[in-house]
Amino acid sequence: MKAFLFDENLPSKIQFTPSVPIIYVSILGDSPSDTHIWEYAKEMGLVIVTKDTDFSDRLMLDLSPPKVVHLRFGNMRKRVIIYDL
């Protein structure tokens, strides 16, 4: 694993001190598609960190998927997560 790829549905202010870098999907442009994020993570050896179930569901369809960390906060908006952390 080279780095964590944080999905756009997560606030950038999450307090997290990993031993590898954090990359935000914004480097892929404005609102990249899930497929673009998925393929980029596979190519670059990144772990997708998301609160979106789409990536967890997709794990079963790909023979060699990237790793995915699915954070579960319930149905909360990004700004609420920031203030509750």
* Residue 22, domain extent: 3-84
The reported pTM is 0.81
Write down the pLDDT at residue 3: 92
pLDDT tier at 13, thresholds 50, 70, 90: confident
Could you tell me the CA-to-CA distances from 49 to 63, 68, 72 in Å, in that order? 19, 6, 11
Q: Which residue has the higher pLDDT, 19 or 50?
A: 50
Write down the pLDDT at residue 53: 87
pLDDT of 32-74, one tens digit each?
A: 999 999 999 999 999 999 988 899 889 888 889 999 998 887 6
Total domain count for the chain?
Answer: 1
Q: What are phi and psi of 43, to 5 degrees?
A: -60, -40
